[in-house]
Amino acid sequence: QFLILYSLLIHCKFSKTTFPTFSREIDDDSTVLHCCFFQLSSLGMDPVILAGGYATFAQRYPFLCTPKMILLVNECKAITIYPSEILENALYQGTAEQATNYKVIKNLHITHILNVAAEIPSAFPAIIRYLNFKVMDDMNEHIEDILPTATEFIAEALQADCRVLVHCNTGKSRSSAITLAYLMEYRHWILKDAYEWLKKQRTCATPNMGFLKQLSVYEEKLFGKKLTD
């Protein structure tokens, strides 16, 4: 019980390294944190340690913090769920519900939205710059032609220090295909590395097999050869 409670207190992201790094604020507790980290890992959990502690997290994400103790099911249902942060303070991936929630858009400072859900209209055209594609989540749907335009839209926004939300309906398949294409083209990651990163940031990300095959072709186009099996 102690390990699980402690993991909840320290649960947040750290840099992608082979071993967690610690800030000065938690040096004194490093032995305990090491112990918790590896014991939780051995139980099949995926703990991460927040350098700087809760105060740092609360400063950056005050809208994710509350003084309330959430105990009841109804209280849990009332919690606002936010999109996944794919690239820190830059690129997010989520659902249609999140993309049409003004609270989410405001708190994350989203300025650009790439919508690949055929069934979802633009919610805030007066304050958000949109790029919309009517794509169906179907294995036979062709997306090759939209990938260059979609990735360029994201790249230009991020180069201007803006924040982009990519979404479809559930934030699993269509939006994942776009995010992967961006990571491949502008981060120069092969499909395998981009896919592993996306799954780490958003575990529900699951582009359908048709999209993955087209992304494999896109990888070959970008890098001159097929690099991912």
Q: What does the domain layout of the chain look like in residue ranges?
A: 2-64, 81-223
Q: Each residue of 166-193: pLDDT tens digit? A: 999 999 999 999 999 999 999 999 999 9
CA distances from 55 to 35, 51, 89, 106, 166 (A): 22, 10, 18, 22, 29
Give the active site residue among 12, 36, 65, 168: 168
The pLDDT assigned to 72 comes to 85
Q: Each residue of 54-85: pLDDT tens digit? A: 888 899 899 988 888 888 888 888 889 999 99
The pLDDT assigned to 29 comes to 59
Taking the CB of residue 178, how many other CB atoms lie within 10 A of it?
29
The pLDDT assigned to 5 comes to 44
The pLDDT assigned to 118 comes to 78
Q: Each residue of 85-129: pLDDT tens digit? A: 999 999 999 999 999 999 999 999 999 999 999 788 999 999 999
Average pLDDT over residues 28-54: 80
The pLDDT assigned to 67 comes to 84
The pLDDT assigned to 28 comes to 52
The pLDDT assigned to 20 comes to 38
| Token pair listed for 20 | 């967690």
The pLDDT assigned to 25 comes to 45
Average pLDDT over residues 208-227: 97
The pLDDT assigned to 70 comes to 82
pTM beyond 0.75: the answer is yes
Domain covering 81-223 in this structure, CATH number:
3.90.190.10
What whole-number distance in Å separates Cα of residue 165 and Cα of residue 95? 9
The pLDDT assigned to 22 comes to 39
Answer whether 60's CB lies under 8 Å from 109's CB: no
Half-sphere exposure of 173 (CA within 13 A, CB side): 16
pLDDT surpasses 70 at 18: no
More confident residue, 162 or 45: 162
Q: What is the DSSP string of 187-220?
A: S---HHHHHHHHHHH-TT----HHHHHHHHHHHH
Average pLDDT over residues 194-199: 97
168 is catalytic: yes
What amino acid is encoded at 57 in this protein? Answer: F
Residue with tokens 């606002």: 80
User: Considering the chain, what is the average pLDDT of its residues?
Assistant: 87
